Chain A
Amino acid sequence: MSGRWLFTKVGAAVLTLIFVLIFNFFLFRAIGDPTTQLARLPGATDKEIEQLKSDYGLDKPLLGQFADYVGDTATLDLGISQNTREPVWNEIVDALPWTLLLVGTGTLLATLIGAWMGVKAATKRGTKTDDGLLGFSLFTYAAPEYWIGIILILLFAVAWPIFPAGQQVTPGVEFASWFDEALDVVDHLILPATAMTLMLLGQYFLIMRSSMVDVLTEDFITVKRATGLSRERVINRHAVPNALLPLVTLSAIQFGAVAGGAITIETVFSWPGLGELSFNAINDKDFPMLQGTFLVFSFGVIFANLLADILYFYLDPRVQSR
């Protein structure tokens, strides 16, 4: 049974990815005519453009071009950046770890803090604590994350300069050990990761809170209290594990927002990840790079969704027997 379930989920993910490829291909080939981009090369003659066209396979029929595109993508050939003249894939490989570091830290902190806040609010429902947490999370939900990032810079890098305002390491410093370098990276990570955490916190909090409120009305909670368990233990051992299940599934809808946040927050903090690559590609009209980062972002979100499904599968015994 479980093999089949997994197969369906993986199949759906692959199908979504195929549609990303199709979309990506047609958007950049059909709407954004690549020859106009090639013609932007200064001093290009017609002959050179023809040469380039055949280099890029643009003289072939559309279906053939698509097959080439899929083949190239599968072999990680995402073209050459029009801006840096480097293979897009190489730049993405350099940037990816930084994005994963930022996004991973932010998601982890937001999940932990958001879930903890949700439990607090649900168990103190209707009190000032609950109102305060609700208000705070609504504010972080409504505030643009890049604006929060800029405010953090204003406060903690300019007005009270305790953290660096941008980049991932202090430039031009020879570090005595890898540990010193890691500490320097953490120092640079704190502000952007805080912005990322604040951006995601509200949603996690709201999901956890309503999930806890639901679980706390279930009969088994009363039964557990009737067996003589303390309120704290009923909450920690029984209510929270049950309330976490919706958090896992519903948090999947956040992954798209995470990708968006990576772009804006990395821009604000000059964090050298995929987001900054995208931002530079937007301003330089570097289409191969834009196409490449979009592909990687989409792939990442689809993959994260699949992971959330699998995690849910292992957490909820009710799914497994289906």
Chain B
Amino acid sequence: MSALLEVEDLRVTHDGKPIVDGVDLKLAPGEALALAGESGCGKTTTALALMRLLPPTLTQSGVITLRPEGVEDPINIGRRTETGMRLVRWRHISLVFQGAMNSLDPVQKVGKQIAEAIGIHERASSSDIAARIDELLATVGLTGGVAGRYPHELSGGQRQRVMIALALACRPSLVIADEPTTALDVVMQAQVLQLLERLREELGLALILISHDLGVLAETCDRIAVMYAGRIVETGSVDEVFAAPQHPYTKLLLDSLPVIGGDRGVGIAIPGAPPDPGDPPPGCRFRPRCPYSAERCDVDPPLREVRPGQLAACHYAPWEKWPDPVAAAGGEVSR
């Protein structure tokens, strides 16, 4: 089966300085891919580049190919004109932002906003559209009455459901969800994630889920790509990567998760701050923060297959056993 989405060597630059520095991605129809990393690593930029929505100050290059079901020729997103892109957006790829904040126009009723999105891509009578809106709202567990409300009249969870309903409005084959649960409380987070999972199964949607929270990603996704300073440093199936991470950054991210029922309730944060992708340190980009770094790390490591189906950008991968991180970091770990 051919991939739904294929991204080769995606680069995004600002004044010639890279923000996303050669990202490759592959997504099968109906598959859920996790894009993980600290804020500022280029996750959101990557997502916007896939829809060609970057602000004019940023330039993107690379080949993005989309093969939606029922469309004869593959869509070359990088080559499309702006007008051509407008037909692709929402019809084939839609987007869910951290909608609890302001992903919806505050001065327009929710129903009108969904109707507008449908109206761009389809010719439908207003009664058909109204019925579709009711159906969409029901799909995400809301009553039809919500259509007549303004965004501020809804709770954060309701707004995020509306946002998901909006994302499904034109029956896309891929939904990109950028931190869809960040602004919600724990109960709402769980509900929204369950909703996304259910919709994926029922509608056969492919999903790219972007989050800094590995816990959120583990529950929902099949595969994961970990980004650091504008690059993918590790990718593989969620199960494999979580069980046996092959990049020190992934390893430390996983260690920073709180372990419920474990001997520590609070995880260990990675000391230091991520570098600016436009001005990375020489050699391996993670070296300054890596407790395992050694002299070979002066050379930039390529992303390579280190175990079957699992790729990592580390000279010392595959790691059979990780040394004690506290000892390796010289005890410099904050509590």
Contacts and interface: CB of A to CB of B under 8 A. Distances in A.
Direct contact between the two chains A and B in their complex (CB within 8 A): yes
Interface of A: 218-220, 222-231, 237-238, 241-242, 245, 315-318, 321
Interface in B47-98: 48, 51, 53, 82, 86-91, 94-95, 97-98
A228 B117 contact: yes
A227 B117 contact: yes
A317 to B, nearest CB: 4
A229 B116 contact: yes
B108 A228 contact: no
A242 B116 contact: no
Given A220-B105, A242-B106, A228 B91 contact: yes
A228 B152 contact: no
Q: Could you tell me the dominant secondary structure of chain A's interface residues? A: helix
Contacts of A231: 82
A317 B103 contact: no
A219 B53 contact: no
A227 B107 CA distance: 18
B103 A242 contact: no
A224 B105 contact: yes
B97 A321 contact: no
A228 B101 CA distance: 21
Contacts of A318: 106-107, 150, 152
B172 to A, nearest CB: 11
B106 A227 contact: no
Contacts of B95: 222-223, 226
A226 B51 contact: yes
Contacts of A321: 150, 152-153
A225 B103 CA distance: 11
A228 B97 contact: no
Given A222-B95, A226-B95, A321-B152, 11 more contacts: A219-B99, A219-B101, A219-B103, A220-B104, A226-B90, A228-B88, A231-B82, A241-B107, A315-B107, A317-B150, A318-B150
Contact of A229 (B86, B108, B150): B86
A168 to B, nearest CB: 41
B53 A225 contact: yes
Contacts of B163: 223
Nearest to A238: B105
A228 B103 contact: no
Q: 3 tightest CB-CB pairs across the interface, nearest first? A: A227-B117, A228-B89, A317-B150
B53 A228 contact: no
A222 B48 contact: yes
Given A229-B86, A229-B116, A317-B152, A223 B104 contact: yes
Contacts of A218: 102
Contacts of B105: 220, 224, 238, 241-242
A42 to B, nearest CB: 65
Contacts of A316: 107
Contacts of B166: 223, 227
Contacts of B120: 227-229
Contacts of B287: none
B121 interface: yes
Contacts of B152: 317-318, 321
Contacts of A226: 51, 53, 89-90, 94-95
Contacts of A245: 107
